[in-house]
Amino acid sequence: MEKVKKNVAILGSTGSIGTQALDVIRQNPDLFSVEVLTAHSNADLLIRQAIEFNPNAVVIGDEDRYPYVRDALASFPIKVFAGQDSVSQVVEMEQIDLVLNALVGYAGLKPTLNAIRAGKHIALANKETLVVAGDLVMDLAAENRVMILPVDSEHSAIFQCLAGEYRKNVEKIILTASGGPFRGKNHEHLRKVRKEAALVHPNWKMGDKITIDSASMMNKGLEIIEAKWLFDLLPDQIEVIVHPQSIIHSIVQFVDGSMKAQMGLPDMRLPILYALSYPDRLLTDLPRFNFSVYPELTFEPPDKDLFRNLGLAFEALNKGGNMPCILNAANEIAVQAFLEDRISFLGMPRLIESCMHSAGFIRKPSYDDYVQTNRETREKALEYLLLHAES
């Protein structure tokens, strides 16, 4: 019997996750067809991807680059759109079965909501979507009978551990963290680190924003909030353990005390593939884990005093409402400023804390409240940067 192909839209196809997703699809041309590709600024790569995968439509987020992309693809039967609104709208195209959201930051929220409303299943890499408005996203997904399939490796691990289990039997989950490039360093060291050191991750090659988030432990902070929504957990059911080898991707502990861990080499193509092929698994020739290369798997508690972002994220998780949205917006400004040498590494949690403690709290925000919270927090964070200019 001929297999029915899954029609996939990839938002952020030029990024780290996007290119690895295309790699997975390239290996499985009988199973997946690319319907839509979107990029923000990397027009040349988008054009190359479009010519290779022949999607129905592409979107270039940066409108200035539209004529360039349009002209390059003029002789192909590919629709070309431009602008942020088009990224959000293109997910509604009828042929699409699954939207892989590999955008970075708050920009991922609206396309996710639109895709869910249009009844598309979501493979979600863009964790910020759930951090900002997890309640809205999960409610809307349930209403539209849409699956939210995690791509983040820890959440994919939890998702895999939960296969065949009753959710009521989960006692807690334990998210593993590599600890990033500054694991074991002291305050004195962190005071002076610059972006060049923070951009080198020991185990993963990722986009700049998540690489800085990993160095500052905010990535794990965002992930505890992401986990709360994906798996419907209470804050005290979520723990973090540092596991420098990144082989165990996360763990579920059940009410009987038994634990399940999911492991594998740190390669994002695995969780991407699982999200794309779910509930099936596909044969791959990806490198296999070899015990003799990893004679030791080690674990240690996170240093919450040094990496204050983790504590701030737990605070936001406990507080709920629009506090995670505030945390996220302040962090996006902090990371951008750090990448531009406008704030120090330890200045980032100070900025985030200041935004969290001065913001207007809303217990049950609407979508418009989230939009406003995001905008106001960014403004406040930019003001903070002006007042606390560091050189």
Using CB under 5 A as the criterion, which residues of the chain lie in contact with Mg ion when the complex forms? 152-154
- Minimum distance, C-beta of residue 154 to ligand NDP, in the bound complex (Å): 8
Residue 224: which of ligand NDP, Mg ion, none does it interact with, CB under 5 to 8 A by kind?
A: none
**Are the CB atoms for 20 and 272 separated by under 8 Å?**
yes
- Distance separating alpha carbons of residues 122 and 229, to the nearest angstrom: 14
Amino acid at residue number 270: L
35 binds, among Mg ion, ligand NDP, none (CB under 5 to 8 A by kind): none
Q: Which stretch binds ligand NDP (CB under 6 A): 90-98, 99-107, 346-354, 370-378?
A: 99-107
Q: Which amino acid is at 111?
A: P
Binding mask 253-272 for ligand NDP (x = CB under 6 A): ---------------x----
Q: Which residue is nearest to ligand NDP (CB)?
A: 15
**Binding status of residue 178 toward ligand NDP by CB under 6 A:** no
Q: Quick check: 126 binds ligand NDP (CB under 6 A)?
A: yes
Tell me if 157 sits within 8 A of 249, measured CB to CB: yes
CB of 123 to ligand NDP, least distance (A): 11
- Helix ranges restricted to H, 124-181: 128-143, 153-161
Q: Which does 250 bind (CB under 5 to 8 A by kind): Mg ion, ligand NDP, none?
A: none
**CB–CB of 238/317 below 8 Å?**
yes
Q: Does 41 bind ligand NDP (CB under 6 A)?
A: yes
Nearer to ligand NDP, 2 or 324 (CB): 324
Q: 205: which 2 tokens? A: 């090659």
| Residue 105: half-sphere exposure toward Cβ, Cα within 13 Å | 19
Shortest Cβ distance from residue 104 to ligand NDP (Å)? 4
Q: Where are the alpha helices (DSSP H) in the chain?
A: 16-27, 43-53, 66-72, 84-90, 109-117, 128-143, 153-161, 187-192, 195-198, 208-216, 218-231, 269-277, 308-319, 323-339, 347-358, 367-387
State phi, psi for 237 to the nearest 5 degrees.
-95, 5
Q: Name the residue nearer to ligand NDP (CB basis): 141 or 213.
A: 213
Q: 187 to 206, contacts with ligand NDP by CB under 6 A?
A: 204, 206
Spell out a b/e string for 16-41, using b for 16 or more CB atoms within 10 Å of the CB, else e: bbbbbbbebbebbeebbbbbbbbbbe
Minimal distance, residue 187 CB to ligand NDP, in Å: 26
Stretch that binds ligand NDP, among 89-97, 119-127, 225-233, 243-251 (CB under 6 A): 119-127
Calculate the CA 383 to chain-centre distance.
Answer: 27
Least distance CB 328 / ligand NDP (angstroms): 10
Q: Which positions from 316 through 345 interact with ligand NDP, judged by CB under 6 A? A: none
User: Residue 91, class by beta-carbon neighbours within 10 Å (0-12 exposed, 13-18 middle, 19+ buried)?
Assistant: buried
- Of 7, 14, 86, 216, the residue at the interface with ligand NDP (CB under 6 A) is 14
Cis before 111? omega within 30: no
User: What minimum distance in Å lies between the beta carbon of 167 and ligand NDP?
Assistant: 23
Tell which positions 137-176 bind ligand NDP, by CB under 6 A.
152
134 lines the binding site for ligand NDP (CB under 6 A): no
Closer by beta carbon to Mg ion, 127 or else 308? 127
Kindly state the helix (H) or strand (E) to which residue 216 belongs, with its residue range: helix 208-216
**Rounded to an integer, what distance in angstroms lies between the CA atom of residue 294 and that of residue 160?**
23
Interface pick for ligand NDP out of 8, 9, 17, 131 (rule CB under 6 A): 17
Q: One-letter amino acid identity for 75?
A: S
- Regarding 87 and contact with ligand NDP (CB under 6 A), the answer is yes
- Partner from Mg ion, ligand NDP, none contacting 49, C-beta within 5 to 8 A by type: none
Structure-block tokens of residue 180: 């990033």
Is the Cβ–Cβ distance between 195 and 212 less than 8 Å? yes
Contact residues: ligand NDP, CB under 6 A: 12-18, 39-42, 61, 84, 87, 102-104, 107, 125-128, 152, 204, 206-207, 209-210, 268
